[in-house]
Amino acid sequence: MLQLYFSPMACSLASRIALMEAGIEVRYRQVHLVTKKVADDDSDFCRISPKGAVPVLVLENGDRLTESAAVLQYIADMKLETGLAPRFGEPDRYRLQEWLSFTGAEIHKAFLFPAFWYKDDGSLAKPRARITQTLQVPSAHLTQREFLVGDRFTVADAHLVWALLLLRPAGIDIAQWPPLAAYLERMQTRPAIREAIATEMALRKAVAA
């Protein structure tokens, strides 16, 4: 059985959403990112991934796959019939990679990572200024579109949904971008997304208690 190493409401949430959308059975293994311990057996997570970051998808043969963009595409390709990713060779396949890269680099690493891991001593001023420009890109793209790629939900949407969810606790109100606010509200009506968020929010509260 596949295993997904995750941390509640971290970027691995996108992988959980994709797995649930695809109906793929998987064992979820929670990681404490501060201590780098696996919750169910207190083992050293860095022995699973020296990067010390989630998601990590352990495949049936024991191989390990890291980085959200790669994990999400692998999940989508396991169930091509779901349309979670365009097929290889289709032009939209490269649009999918474009949006996965954009969300990972321009929203996650450029803003969300420093916002949650670094002390706001003034060093976050530039990332905060930049994110307001960055978010204009997906906002404009989604003005007259339901999804990021093509005419159906893909793993690029799973990735962006996670990023938009984290913006508010990071101090950014996406109501400034009505197309993004409407998109996020629309995406949260999908049963898999709603269930994935509820599951991870409950786990996050349990950790904080």
pLDDT, tens only, 6-33? 999 999 999 999 999 999 999 999 999 9
**pLDDT score, position 90:** 95
20 and 52, same domain (yes or no): yes
Please name the residue that has the structure tokens 């159906």.
152
**171 φ/ψ angles, rounded to the nearest 5 degrees:** 95, 15
Please name the amino acid found at residue 16: R
Rg (CA), the chain: 17
Helix (H, G, I), strand (E, B) or coil at 79: coil
113 and 146, same domain (yes or no): yes
Identify the band that residue 115 occupies on the pLDDT scale cut at 50, 70 and 90.
confident
List, as own/partner pairs, every contact residues 181-187 make where C-beta atoms lie below 8 angstroms and the sequence separation is at least 24, other chains included: 182/142, 183/142, 186/146, 187/153, 187/157, 187/161
Is the residue at 113 inside a domain? yes
Give the tokens for residue 73: 């595409």
pLDDT, tens only, 150-168? 999 999 999 999 999 999 9
38 and 114, same domain (yes or no): no
Is the residue at 43 inside a domain? yes
C-alpha span between 196 and 209 (Å, rounded): 20
175 and 96, same domain (yes or no): yes
Average pLDDT, integer, range 40-58: 97
Average pLDDT over all residues of the chain: 95
pLDDT, tens only, 160-200? 999 999 999 999 999 999 999 999 999 999 999 999 999 99
Is the residue at 78 inside a domain? yes
**pLDDT score, position 50:** 96
Please report the DSSP string for 14-52 in residue order.
HHHHHHHHHT--EEEEEEETTTTEETTT--BGGGT-TT-
**Domain end residue (candidates: 66, 83, 100):** 83
Is the residue at 208 inside a domain? no
On whether the CB atoms of residues 196 and 1 are closer than 8 A, the answer is: no
Residue span of the structural domain in which 179 resides: 91-191
- Quickly count: other Cβ atoms within 10 Å of residue 27's Cβ: 11
pLDDT(49) > 80: yes
Residues of the chain above pLDDT 90, percent: 89
Q: How far is C-alpha 108 from the geometric centre of its chain's CA atoms?
A: 9
